[in-house]
């Protein structure tokens, strides 16, 4: 995947100015920069959710797993049902339950996610993106709201189940990058 010379403005505020990024197949990369420097906008441009004002994004796989900055779960649905929305029939219920249990959610599989803590919801969002699969996994502050032990558990889970997908993670924490064994790219 390659983004070249991306520019993006919102009104008169420049967010991305001549940003280029190459992510080799299977690489794990963490984007780090102060708040407001366009990290989330860059992920959205890569995913095709935001059009850059100029520049190009090429080589993006057809299937992308995405953990958004906000969880974007269906609150009235269970953890299993939220993951099922992403996987459809490609993954059976037992496998989905195993993924969620691996993330420490074995006791909350069928509880509405609106009743879960913020950290539990975050892990459901991680499972959903990982189970969706694809050649690229975009993670926007995936470990926010998780304690140190749970962050390590979630990072190990991502690495075990990414199936060779490249990973691009936005984080403010070098420990997150280290847990993912990621190369750091500063914007």
pLDDT band (50, 70, 90) for residue 35: confident
What is the pTM assigned to this prediction? 0.95
In this prediction, residue 186 carries a pLDDT of 86
In this prediction, residue 169 carries a pLDDT of 98
Write out pLDDT tens, residues 77-90.
999 999 999 999 99
Residue 34 has pLDDT above 90, yes or no: no
Residue 13 has pLDDT above 90, yes or no: yes
Structural domain boundaries, residue 42: 2-186
Give the residue from 185, 141, 134 showing the smallest Cα distance to 162.
Answer: 134
* Mean pLDDT on 154-182: 96
**Residue 37: C-alpha distances to residues 19, 26, 114, 142 (Å):** 11, 25, 31, 18
Write out pLDDT tens, residues 118-135.
999 999 999 999 999 999
Task: Give me the phi and psi of 5, to 5 degrees please.
Answer: 50, 50
> Among positive and negative, which fits the CA dihedral 41, 59, 23, 63?
positive
Residue 69 belongs to domain with CATH number: 3.40.50.300
Helix (H) or strand (E) holding 22: strand 13-22
The owner of tokens 């690489």 is 27
Q: What domain count does the chain have?
A: 1
Q: In whole numbers, what is the pLDDT of the chain averaged over residues?
A: 96
Please check whether residue 40 is in contact with residue 170, taking contact to mean a CB–CB distance below 8 angstroms: yes
């Amino acid at each position: 995947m390659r983004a070249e010379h991306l520019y993006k403005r919102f009104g008169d505020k420049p967010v991305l100015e001549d940003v280029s990024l190459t992510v080799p197949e299977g690489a794990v990369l963490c984007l780090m920069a102060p708040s407001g420097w366009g990290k989330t906008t860059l992920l959205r441009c890569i995913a095709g959710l935001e059009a850059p004002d100029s520049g190009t994004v090429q080589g993006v796989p057809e299937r992308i797993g995405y953990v958004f900055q906000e969880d974007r779960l269906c609150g009235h649905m269970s953890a299993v049902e939220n993951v099922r929305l992403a996987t459809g029939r490609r993954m059976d219920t037992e496998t989905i339950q195993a993924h969620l249990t691996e993330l420490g959610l074995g006791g909350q599989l069928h509880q509405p996610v609106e009743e879960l803590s913020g950290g539990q919801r975050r892990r459901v969002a991680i499972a959903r993106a990982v189970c969706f699969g694809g050649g690229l996994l975009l993670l926007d502050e995936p470990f926010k709201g998780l304690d140190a032990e749970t962050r390590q558990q979630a990072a190990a889970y991502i690495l075990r189940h990414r199936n060779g997908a490249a990973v691009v993670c936005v984080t403010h924490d070098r420990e997150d990058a280290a847990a993912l064994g990621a190369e750091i790219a500063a914007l």
